[in-house]
A and B are shown apart, each in its own frame.
Chain A
Amino acid sequence: MEERRGPVRRTPPEAALTSRRVLGRFARIAAAGLLVTAGVAEACEVPAGFTARERLTSQDVVVMFRTVPAAIEIGRHFSVEAIVCATPPTQGLRVDAQMPEHRHGMNYRPTVATTGDGRFVAQGLLFHMPGRWQLLFDVERGGRTERLATDLLVE
């Protein structure tokens, strides 16, 4: 049983849709930098059949992800399916998690495989304690790694 808490550079899907409409309306008069950001966001559409649990954004990276199973249970392995849109394009993705208050991570190292087109599957995650977990996405592109994170409260 779990709930999400504490927005960390993330945009809920509904809010993201609203932003896209606003950006579309004023795109012609937007600054060039904003156009780059809007371009990444615009290009990053949810594929049919993929219900994103959350959408995390930074200036030029968007990560949409869902967990399998959808509900994370203490002591049960789960996977994370992610779609990453970035400029320049993503070269790789690492997925990990930690409990900041407890100062530890997971006891398992997820493996990440890509299916192309910016789609990734991380397997082998397991939360072994209730509390606040931080799910981490390290996006590699253009020789840099950018971290996007979100909080999950698991009980």
Chain B
Amino acid sequence: MSGHARRLAALVVGAAWLAGAAASAQPGLGLEAAEIRRILRHGPWPPPAARDPSNRVSGDPTAIALGQRLFFERRLSANGAIACATCHAPERAWVDGRPRGVGLATLDRNTPTVLDAALHRWFAWDGRSDSLWSQGVKAIVDPREMGAGAPHVAAVVGADPTLRCLYERVYGPRAGGSDEPVLVNVGKALAAFLETVRSGRTPFDEFRDALARGDLSAAARYPLGARRGLKTFVGQGSCGVCHVGPHFTNGEFHDVGMPFVVAPGRVDGGRHEGIKRLRADRFNLLGPYNDDPTAASATKTRHVEPQHVNFGQFKTPSLRNVALTAPYMHDGRLATVRDVVRHYSRLDMERIHTHGEQLLRPLRLSEAEIDDLVAFLETLTDPHVPVGLPPAAAPEACTDRG
């Protein structure tokens, strides 16, 4: 019997003991061995930081400092009024709190948080980008978001002494020629910064790790309602099939019965459209700006292909810190976590494609079960989630040039 199996057996025995100990004030864990196994797969957290091989400045401290300045830099937008931080506001868990994002125009989709963004395989609700840096580039040039072209971005970086100094320290002096490499380098510096925007441990992680080490008294401190909600999450709800692993997402795309009509006569094609945009994107990982000499990072891009079923699919979001990122779903139509749970409880099967997957069924939860599931989801909140991050101080050598 392995050490892990012994711990698991001890937990089951312990859980049974606690469940049977009605006379004591301590509640039982009420978890089966299979449920415990599934719960353990949602950790450990946080995962170790990893560099992005497609971005040669990933992890570079000066690039991170440059990226942090650029993230708050409104001059990067065409009208000089919109920074990345305008929509991804640090003080709001890196979202804007609106149903749909507002850049130079109102967008069709809700602004996703950039917390733990580096862990995603695809970026944006439709996965139109295959790297964090190329998603940054797209936001800058999208006419409805920041609306700036490469010449504008190169001019902003070239004209500001601190930005220029940091840029040259990271990438060396500009060689001249096309502005496009500057735009890409700005995207890579932004990505280097965003890789540092990571969430920390949550009450759920404490519970999960207590289970892993067989510490029943620590595990019993996890609120009873949340524990019941977690049981639904890994059991009857099958939520963990898509919201899988420590990041609570499989990083892929699903039709969960949300309407995709944006306006009369206009629909949001979701993943189907995203793959088409990805393939047409000269900044994708199959293009000239991928810094990965092995090209292994482009495996996903090389093998993904649009299928009919992709229409109306949107990315499975992470559930970490979900309580902080209202409103919800790809178009922000659900205001609260409770509304989302109700959606899955009452799921309208008529809205799911007939050729879609057969995993989803209305959960038909009672009000008490909805309370419990919400209570569980709220325990995925990092109480110290990074907020209100100020623009980075420039390294000493770059502060005396202005």
Contacts of A107 in B (CB 8 A): 252-253, 304, 307
Residue from the list A77, A101, A110 in contact with B300, Cβ < 8 A: A77
CB of B305 within 8 A of CB of A129, answer: no
Contacts of B304 in A (CB 8 A): 107-109
Instruction: Tell me if A104 counts as interface (CB < 8 A to partner B).
Output: yes
CB of A126 within 8 A of CB of B300, answer: yes
Interface residues of B in 284-343 (CB under 8 A from A): 299-300, 302-305, 307, 309
Contacts of B244 in A (CB 8 A): 74-75, 129-130
CB of A129 within 8 A of CB of B242, answer: yes
Contacts of A20 in B (CB 8 A): none
Contacts of B37 in A (CB 8 A): 155
Instruction: Tell me if B245 counts as interface (CB < 8 A to partner A).
Output: yes
CA distance A83 to B185 in the complex (A): 45
Which of chain A's residues has its CB closest to B304's CB?
Answer: A108
CA distance A147 to B347 in the complex (A): 37
Instruction: Tell me if A13 counts as interface (CB < 8 A to partner B).
Output: no
Residue from the list A75, A103, A111, A130 in contact with B357, Cβ < 8 A: A103
Which of chain B's residues has its CB closest to A1's CB?
Answer: B41
Interface residues of A in 82-133 (CB under 8 A from B): 99, 101-104, 107-111, 123-124, 126, 128-131
| A75-B121, A104-B357, A107-B304 given; A130·B253 CB < 8 A | no
CA distance A107 to B252 in the complex (A): 8
Residue from the list A102, A108, A111, A126 in contact with B359, Cβ < 8 A: A102
Contacts of B240 in A (CB 8 A): 130
Contacts of A128 in B (CB 8 A): 250-252
CA distance A49 to B244 in the complex (A): 35
Residue from the list A75, A110, A123 in contact with B250, Cβ < 8 A: A75
Instruction: Tell me if B358 counts as interface (CB < 8 A to partner A).
Output: yes
CA distance A152 to B172 in the complex (A): 50
Residue from the list B241, B245, B358 in contact with A75, Cβ < 8 A: B245
CB of A123 within 8 A of CB of B299, answer: yes
Contacts of A109 in B (CB 8 A): 303-305
Contacts of A123 in B (CB 8 A): 299, 303
Which of chain B's residues has its CB closest to A78's CB?
Answer: B299
CA distance A124 to B307 in the complex (A): 16
CA distance A130 to B234 in the complex (A): 12
Per-position binary interface string of chain B over residues 160-192, scored 1 when its CB falls under 8 Å from any chain A CB and 0 otherwise: 000000000000000000000000000000000
Per-position binary interface string of chain B over residues 243-279, scored 1 when its CB falls under 8 Å from any chain A CB and 0 otherwise: 0110000111100000000000000000000000000
Contacts of A104 in B (CB 8 A): 309, 356-357
CA distance A45 to B359 in the complex (A): 41
B245 → chain A, closest Cβ, in Å? 7
CA distance A99 to B305 in the complex (A): 18
CB of B359 within 8 A of CB of A75, answer: no
Most buried by A among B252, B303, B357: B303
> What are 20 A-B pairs at a CB distance below 8 A?
A75-B121, A75-B251, A102-B357, A102-B359, A103-B356, A103-B357, A103-B358, A104-B356, A107-B304, A108-B303, A108-B304, A108-B305, A109-B304, A111-B302, A123-B299, A124-B303, A129-B241, A129-B242, A131-B241, A155-B37
Considering the complex of A and B, which 10 residue pairs feature the smallest CB-CB distances, nearest first?
A: A124-B303, A108-B303, A128-B252, A102-B357, A104-B357, A103-B358, A128-B250, A109-B305, A77-B299, A102-B359
